[in-house]
Amino acid sequence: MPHSVDPLRSAFADELQRVSSERELRALRDRYLGRKGGVVATLMKQIAAAPSGDRRLLGQLANEFKTDVERALAERQQALQDRLEPVEAVDITLPGRPIAQGRRHPLVILRDRLEDIFAELGYAVVEGPEIEDEYHNFEALNIAPDHPARDMQDTLYLNAPIDSRRGTAPPSERTRPQVDRAATLLRTHTSGMQIRYMEAHEPPIRIIAPGRVYRRDNLDLTHTPMFHQVEGLVVDESITMADLKGTLTHLLRELFGPDARALFRPTFFPYTEPSADVFVSCHACHGSGCPVCKRTGWLEILGCGMVHPAVFEAVGYDPERFGGFAFGIGIERLAMLKYGVDDIRMFYENDLRFLEQFPH
């Protein structure tokens, strides 16, 4: 006959200590509180059989023990649940977690900016096919059959042009593909859109044509086999070089700030005459010379010129009546100069640490 419940208390405390799952806790509860054979039930039976003088005190101790066991089991149950379901333990005073937001790619930011600038000047934005034929990509743009750009080393042909002398020769033997309107290629520039648009429309024309272009280049710091251009074309009566210079100077000031200066240096393109490379004063040193501009004070931004009469003739426009200018901007090059990026491959590696640096 027990005279104390202390040994039971310490045994229970030991067992409770070792419980590490709800299953073990249920087993412990059954062992102590089970109606038949449970430790507490057995104790009560023993007390009922005890001499009446001891019964009252023992009954009181047993009831206290039972209450303590119930409370300890309940607390342990709660602790296990808290551990298993941490989502239940929400601190509503914590600040919320920011939701990751998508953003525009830097090349898209610049393309959109260019579209906005020209839209304000009344230009329409048009798009054309990336799979182009030799006629629209070269011939109609006054690019002669023996021009090096037509070499298969530079252009990605989809079906090889027919060489009348040797049949279909492997690319290494082919230096002068014959003009073949059926030959298809990945367009090497967006200038083919000049032809496609003029074929379908009468002047006046004011368009820009953004899009992807392809060259047979290996990846390096400044070359990728695919990149982006924005083509511009204006055709009307009495369009002069002054219109071209005014438009592009405005463009450069919109892109690089109101103090930006433009420099036009004569160059050669088959589809414009005269032609010019356009430079903007270096925004990093304001023209005094720095590593960004290779100490020249100027950054080469784009190529442009007055539409060549042969191009007008190809689309059936009268070159005596109409004048026009055209320009082509490489978006990657512009982005590298504007944002100070020195490796073009960064734009295609999808590294968020790089992409997240650009303003929305």
Q: How far is the CB of 291 from Zn ion (least distance, A)?
A: 7
Q: How many CB atoms lie within 10 A of CB 17?
A: 9
Q: How far is the CB of 106 from Zn ion (least distance, A)?
A: 21
* CB proximity list for 149: less than 8 A, separation 6 or greater: 138, 143, 155, 188
Q: How many CB atoms lie within 10 A of CB 106?
A: 22
280-299 residues in contact with Zn ion (CB under 5 A) are 282, 284-285, 290, 292-293
| Residue with the CB atom nearest Zn ion in the bound state | 282
Q: Crossing angle, helix 22-33 and helix 6-18, to 10 degrees?
A: 160
Asked if 109 interacts with Zn ion (CB under 5 A), we say: no
How far is it, in rounded angstroms, from Cα 231 to Cα 193?
A: 8
Q: How far is the CB of 147 from Zn ion (least distance, A)?
A: 34
Q: How far is the CB of 280 from Zn ion (least distance, A)?
A: 11
Q: Crossing angle, helix 39-48 and helix 22-33, to 10 degrees?
A: 10
Residue among 178 and 288 whose Cβ is closer to Zn ion: 288
Q: 125 and 210 in contact (C-beta within 8 Å)?
A: yes
Q: Which of 216, 217, 230, 245 is nearest to 306 (CA)?
A: 245
Residue among 210 and 297 whose Cβ is closer to Zn ion: 297
Residue among 284 and 355 whose Cβ is closer to Zn ion: 284
Q: How far is the CB of 288 from Zn ion (least distance, A)?
A: 7
Q: How far is the CB of 327 from Zn ion (least distance, A)?
A: 23
Asked if 39 interacts with Zn ion (CB under 5 A), we say: no
How far is it, in rounded angstroms, from Cα 4 to Cα 10?
A: 12
Number of residues that bind Zn ion (CB under 5 A): 6
How far is it, in rounded angstroms, from Cα 54 to Cα 47?
A: 8
Helices in the chain by DSSP H: which ranges? 6-18, 22-33, 39-48, 52-84, 106-120, 134-137, 192-200, 241-256, 309-314, 331-339, 352-355
Asked if 50 interacts with Zn ion (CB under 5 A), we say: no
Residue among 41 and 284 whose Cβ is closer to Zn ion: 284
Q: How far is the CB of 351 from Zn ion (least distance, A)?
A: 27
294-323 residues in contact with Zn ion (CB under 5 A) are none
Residue among 205 and 293 whose Cβ is closer to Zn ion: 293
Residue among 288 and 357 whose Cβ is closer to Zn ion: 288
Structure tokens at 147: 């021009």
Q: 131 and 186 in contact (C-beta within 8 Å)?
A: yes
Residue among 5 and 301 whose Cβ is closer to Zn ion: 301
Binding letters toward Zn ion, positions 242-281, x by CB under 5 A: ----------------------------------------
Q: 331 and 110 in contact (C-beta within 8 Å)?
A: yes
Residue among 208 and 293 whose Cβ is closer to Zn ion: 293
Binding site for Zn ion (CB under 5 A): 282, 284-285, 290, 292-293
